[in-house]
């Protein structure tokens, strides 16, 4: 049992998002609507979830937000960067996720959130033609400019603390290389404009260097390199990534653990999507899609462990497709065909047709990640926060450790981390009463 020293969440918390598109504006508008009492934060564990404490007979299940000292929604200030100059109201109208009526009720507050100029290079996101971008050409100077932005934001908004959550586009696929291996090499690479340092890594460097907690909602490398993990430990910064777990992958990590738990075999899992938002347009480019594909494909392998269960999963054929289809906008449709087999190898099929709203699923994750990272920082936690894997499609782990994808194990890890922070017993679900004498 431990009772960590956790600083109270006094004062204002700034949540900064590089990228103010569909996800970020749905998140901001949602929090503002909840604050006004015109909507509910559904899908957010920090706001609506409860956590069981002690023995079942004790009947203690407080709301998560009443159990751990999180920043309150009224104390949040929003900010961000984008390659387009639209304020959050205009960007949310463009994204067409939320009803116009709802957006008009919070228009005044949304209009006040204007993006700062972005660190952007079209070579990394080919389908975007941004104009609202910083003029520095040197990557280290760009990182310094982001640090100045953070400082200026914090001062002008009177924020006690700041966190950053990447909500920008998916960049082209970049493999981890030498330049990412140590802080010194990364800093040299920034000064020499190394091509393996994408804009999302420049923001991540700036945040982590300043001790600002950083979460990565896209599959970009960003903070998932040894240099930035090392820096995060040096500067006492909690970090988490990669890629918000929503839509089809969320379903996959709910279904696959159940099939495995019953020792049912799987011979194939074909997943395809149509979506028509800007994210879909960016992902229509093969180089950008590759980054997403890698993030989506790892999930089943780690949950099913074909090496340990060869008869059930070694021949599994896994395919993931994303198709850009403008008429749908943010209303994605994801189909899964799952070929399974049971007793004596008899085949069966499962079909999933998920008509989801991507940003509606992603927005609460931005909130929870921001609030939990801020909590972690106040509790003195630093480096990769594996307990936040619950929210991520391709969880960042310590070197050599496999990621945990099973959503139920992820939840248990998250809850036990909160219990540990607050000095409560960890829950193992072992029913000791079976062994007790009458
Ligand atoms: N919606 C989901 O369910 C979901 C799930 C997992 C991951 N994601 C990821 O989250 C990210 C955001 O998704 P979205 O639907 O909001 O996309 P979006 O296209 O609506 O918004 C992304 C915004 O980022 C901006 N941008 C791109 N590069 C930038 C840079 N270097 N600096 C500042 N701004 C930049 C774009 O101009 C755009 O406004 C994407 O990478 C997406 O893959 C989304």
Distance between start and end Cα atoms, the chain: 30
Length of the chain as a residue count: 438
24 Cα–ligand 1 center, Å: 8
Question: Over the stretch 212-260, which tens digit does the pLDDT of each residue have?
Answer: 999 999 999 999 999 999 999 999 999 999 999 999 999 999 999 999 9
Which domains does the chain possess?
12-244+360-421 (3.40.50.720), 248-357 (3.30.360.10)
- Specify the pLDDT at position 42: 98
Instruction: Give the whole-number percent of the chain exceeding pLDDT 90.
Output: 86
* The pair of three-digit structure tokens given for residue 106, joined into one six-digit string: 């919070």
Nearest-atom index, ligand 1, CA of 128: 37
Nearest-atom index, ligand 1, CA of 330: 15
Nearest-atom index, ligand 1, CA of 168: 24
Q: CA nearest 215: which of 393, 380, 73, 88? A: 393
The confidence band for 56, taking pLDDT boundaries of 50, 70 and 90, is confident
The confidence band for 174, taking pLDDT boundaries of 50, 70 and 90, is very high
Question: Over the stretch 204-217, which tens digit does the pLDDT of each residue have?
Answer: 999 999 999 999 99
Nearest-atom index, ligand 1, CA of 244: 6
DSSP 307-344: TTSHHHHTT-EEEEEEEE-GGGTTEEEEEEEEEEE-GG
Most confidently modeled range among 48-52, 247-251, 396-400: 48-52
Residue 7's SS3 state is coil
- Specify the pLDDT at position 398: 87
Instruction: With a cut of 50, say whether residue 109 has pLDDT above it.
Output: yes
- Specify the pLDDT at position 2: 60
Instruction: With a cut of 70, say whether residue 81 has pLDDT above it.
Output: yes
As a whole number of angstroms, the distance between CA 35 and CA 46 comes to 15
Instruction: Give the whole-number percent of the chain exceeding pLDDT 70.
Output: 97
Q: Tokens 């953070």, residue?
A: 150
- Specify the pLDDT at position 285: 85
The confidence band for 280, taking pLDDT boundaries of 50, 70 and 90, is confident
Query: If you take atom 6 of ligand 1, which residue's CA is the nearest one?
Result: 244
Query: If you take atom 5 of ligand 1, which residue's CA is the nearest one?
Result: 244
- Specify the pLDDT at position 110: 98
Mutate to test the pocket of ligand 1, among 18, 19, 322 (most ligand atoms within 8 A of CB): 19
- For the segment 171-194, the average pLDDT, to the nearest whole number, is 97
Instruction: With a cut of 50, say whether residue 78 has pLDDT above it.
Output: yes
Most confidently modeled range among 327-341, 364-378, 416-430: 364-378
Nearest-atom index, ligand 1, CA of 278: 19
- Specify the pLDDT at position 438: 46
Query: If you take atom 37 of ligand 1, which residue's CA is the nearest one?
Result: 83
As a whole number of angstroms, the distance between CA 88 and CA 113 comes to 6
Query: Is-contact 357 341, C-beta < 8 A?
Result: no
Instruction: With a cut of 80, say whether residue 397 has pLDDT above it.
Output: yes
- Specify the pLDDT at position 436: 57
Mean pLDDT score of the chain, rounded to an integer? 94
Paired residues of 318 in beta bridges: 269
Residues having CB closer than 6 A to ligand 1 are 18-24, 81-84, 95, 118-120, 125, 128, 130, 167-170, 199, 217-218, 243-244, 246-247, 277-279, 282, 358-359, 361-362
152 Cα–ligand 1 center, Å: 24
Instruction: Tell me the backbone φ, ψ of residue 305, rounded to 5 degrees.
Output: 45, 65
Query: Is-contact 347 192, C-beta < 8 A?
Result: no
- For the segment 283-309, the average pLDDT, to the nearest whole number, is 86
- For the segment 109-122, the average pLDDT, to the nearest whole number, is 97
Q: CA nearest 88: which of 149, 18, 29? A: 29
Mutate to test the pocket of ligand 1, among 98, 246, 279 (most ligand atoms within 8 A of CB): 279
241 Cα–ligand 1 center, Å: 14
DSSP at 150: H
- Specify the pLDDT at position 296: 77
DSSP 16-64: EEE--SHHHHHHHHHHHHHHTTSS--TT-HHHH-B--BS-GGG-B--BH
How much helix, strand and coil, in percent to the nearest 5, is found in the chain? 45, 20, 35
Question: Over the stretch 126-143, which tens digit does the pLDDT of each residue have?
Answer: 889 989 999 999 999 999
Query: If you take atom 9 of ligand 1, which residue's CA is the nearest one?
Result: 218
Least confident of 174-178, 293-297, 383-387: 293-297
The confidence band for 351, taking pLDDT boundaries of 50, 70 and 90, is very high
pTM confidence score: 0.95
Nearest-atom index, ligand 1, CA of 199: 31
Nearest-atom index, ligand 1, CA of 170: 41
Instruction: With a cut of 90, say whether residue 161 has pLDDT above it.
Output: yes
208 Cα–ligand 1 center, Å: 20
19 Cα–ligand 1 center, Å: 6
The confidence band for 72, taking pLDDT boundaries of 50, 70 and 90, is very high
- Specify the pLDDT at position 434: 59
More confident site: 260 or 55: 260
Task: Collect all residues with Cβ–Cβ distance below 8 Å to 155 and sequence separation of at least 6.
Answer: none
């Amino acid at each position: 049992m431990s009772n960590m020293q956790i600083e109270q969440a006094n004062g204002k918390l700034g949540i900064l998002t590089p990228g103010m598109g569909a996800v970020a504006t749905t998140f901001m508008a949602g929090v503002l609507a909840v604050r006004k009492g015109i909507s509910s934060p559904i899908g957010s564990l920090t706001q609506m979830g409860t956590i069981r404490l002690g023995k079942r007979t004790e009947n203690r299940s407080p709301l998560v937000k009443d159990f751990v000292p999180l920043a309150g929604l009224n104390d949040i200030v929003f900010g961000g960067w984008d390659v387009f100059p639209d304020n959050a109201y205009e960007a949310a109208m463009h994204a067409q996720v939320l009803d116009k009526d709802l957006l008009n009720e919070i228009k005044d507050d949304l209009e006040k959130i204007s993006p700062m100029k972005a660190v952007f290079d079209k070579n990394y996101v080919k389908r975007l033609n941004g104009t609202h971008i910083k003029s520095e050409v040197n990557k280290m100077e760009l990182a310094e400019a982001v640090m100045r932005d953070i400082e200026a934001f914090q001062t002008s908004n009177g924020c006690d603390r700041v966190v950053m959550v990447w909500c920008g586009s998916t960049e082209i696929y970049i493999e981890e290389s030498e330049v990412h291996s140590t802080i010194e090499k990364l800093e040299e690479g920034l000064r020499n404009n190394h091509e393996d340092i994408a804009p999302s890594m420049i923001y991540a460097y700036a945040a982590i260097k300043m001790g600002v907690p950083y979460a990565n909602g896209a599959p970009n490398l960003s903070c998932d390199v040894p240099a930035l993990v090392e820096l995060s430990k040096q500067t006492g910064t909690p970090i988490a990534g990669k890629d918000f777990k929503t839509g089809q992958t969320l379903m996959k990590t709910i279904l696959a653990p159940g099939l495995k738990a019953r020792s049912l075999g799987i011979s194939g899992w074909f997943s395809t999507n149509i979506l028509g938002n800007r994210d879909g347009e960016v992902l229509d480019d093969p180089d950008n899609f590759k980054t997403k594909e890698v993030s989506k494909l790892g999930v089943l392998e780690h949950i099913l462990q074909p090496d340990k269960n060869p008869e059930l999963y070694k021949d599994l054929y896994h395919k993931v497709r994303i198709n850009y289809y403008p008429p749908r906008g943010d209303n994605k449709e994801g189909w899964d065909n799952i070929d399974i087999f049971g007793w004596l190898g008899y085949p069966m099929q499962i079909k999933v047709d998920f008509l989801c709203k991507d940003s509606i699923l992603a927005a609460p994750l931005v909130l929870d990640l921001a609030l939990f990272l801020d909590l972690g920082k106040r509790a003195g936690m630093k480096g990769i926060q594996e307990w936040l894997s619950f929210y991520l499609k391709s969880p960042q782990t310590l070197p050599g450790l496999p990621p945990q994808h099973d959503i139920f194990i992820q939840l248990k890890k998250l809850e036990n981390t909160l219990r540990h922070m607050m000095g409560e017993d960890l829950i193992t679900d072992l029913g000791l009463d079976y062994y007790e004498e009458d």
